[in-house]
Amino acid sequence: MAAVTTIKDIARICGVGVSTVSRAMNDHPDINRETKEKIQAAIREYNYIPNNSARNLKRHESNTIAVLIRGIYNVFITDMVTQGERYIKYTQYSLYLRQVYPEEDEVDIAIELVKEKRLKGIIFLGGMFDHSVEKLKQIEIPYIMMTVSPSPRISGMCSSVYVDDEMESYRIVDYLCRMGHRKIALITTPESERSIGHLRAKGYFRALKDNGIGRDNRLVRRMSENTWEFSISSGYAVTKELLADNTDFTAIYACSDYAAIGACKAICETGKTVPGDYSVAGYDGLEIGRFYNPPITTISQPINDMLKKTFELLLDEINGDETRQTVVFPGELLAGGSVRDITGTEN
């Protein structure tokens, strides 16, 4: 039997991705036994011999994947540190995490890091990805977008993994409407923030329209430019203002679980209760929301599955697979105790 010369040949023979072959060779626990045995059998059958010299040279050049994280309250930070590190520790790569602040440009940072650290790949985590094609072409290594929906003109330039924020936001606001709520306040990000908060607000407005509810700008409350978006303190501050204005509402949809928890605290401080007086819904499916009292009704994102797919696609591309994929994961509506059914009552 003739020898197979590359890892891509083994991947093609077995009908799997290059990263799957790599993880099987490194005895990664994430590979099921049947797939691992199939790959190992193909390696033996085709006398595949890894080019250790080339692999060692690559390790000498670089073994780093950078993760550029937009937003200090990005819900994926903790999981990227724990699950991400666990996922790639069976490969030759390591993670370098870099926070991207509001005034910074993630692509400028990426271009500079490629030079400084001789990166092998980049994960853009969060933010609004609408950079020019010319600028993106300056990133000369594989990169992938996670939790970000790319604009149509650049969608073919890289893979992306995300949840449809507008659609899932629509789903939870529609749920509030079906629970009898017609005066639903929105807590969202500043007008200048054009990424996730903007998309979730679009879902809110569309759900109201489809349920025959007119737009009431008094119920649209935006966080201050001077506070951390998606934070507990932001949700608290905005809800305090809403309550102080004596605006008539029965429910709040906050653009994150953190903001929803802040809203609950502000309501309780006035002597009111959740959900007895006001219902509150969030977004993200954070663990803290499940253990809050009452548990927050929310949209949960499949964080672990999204992380796994992101690394699979990036490692495949690093290993020579130039196929671009757009993977949209569904969210899950988790009905907690923070929303009350008021159908049949006047509101």
Domains of the chain in sequence order = 7-50 (1.10.260.40), 62-163+302-330 (3.40.50.2300), 166-301 (3.40.50.2300)
How do residues 193-202 score in pLDDT, each as one tens digit?
A: 667 888 899 9
Q: Residue 304: what residue type?
A: N
- What does the pLDDT read at residue 292? 94
State the Cα–Cα distance between residues 41 and 68, nearest whole angstrom: 38
Query: At residue 129, does pLDDT exceed 70?
Result: no
In which band, very low, low, confident or very high, does the pLDDT at 134 lie, cut at 50, 70 and 90?
confident
In which band, very low, low, confident or very high, does the pLDDT at 137 lie, cut at 50, 70 and 90?
confident
In which band, very low, low, confident or very high, does the pLDDT at 344 lie, cut at 50, 70 and 90?
confident
Integer angstrom CA distances of residue 170 from 211, 215, 252, 334: 11, 15, 14, 14
First CA to last CA distance, the chain: 77
Integer angstrom CA distances of residue 89 from 28, 95, 236: 9, 9, 39
Query: At residue 338, does pLDDT exceed 50?
Result: yes
Asked if residue 99 lies in contact with residue 72, where contact means CB atoms within 8 angstroms, the answer is: yes
What is the share, in percent, of the chain residues with pLDDT greater than 70?
Answer: 90
CB-based burial label for 115 (10 Å; 0-12, 13-18, 19+): exposed
- What does the pLDDT read at residue 59? 45
Query: At residue 33, does pLDDT exceed 90?
Result: no
- What does the pLDDT read at residue 78? 78
- What does the pLDDT read at residue 54? 46
- 69 or 225, which is more confident: 69
**Chain mean pLDDT for the chain:** 86
How do residues 289-318 score in pLDDT, each as one tens digit?
A: 999 999 999 999 998 899 999 999 999 999
In which band, very low, low, confident or very high, does the pLDDT at 241 lie, cut at 50, 70 and 90?
very high
Query: At residue 26, does pLDDT exceed 50?
Result: yes
Across 84-98, 100-114, 255-269, the highest mean pLDDT is recorded for 255-269
Secondary structure class of 221 (helix, strand, coil): strand
Instruction: Write phi, then psi, for 241 (nearest 5 degrees).
Output: -65, -45
Q: What residue has token string 């940072």?
A: 109
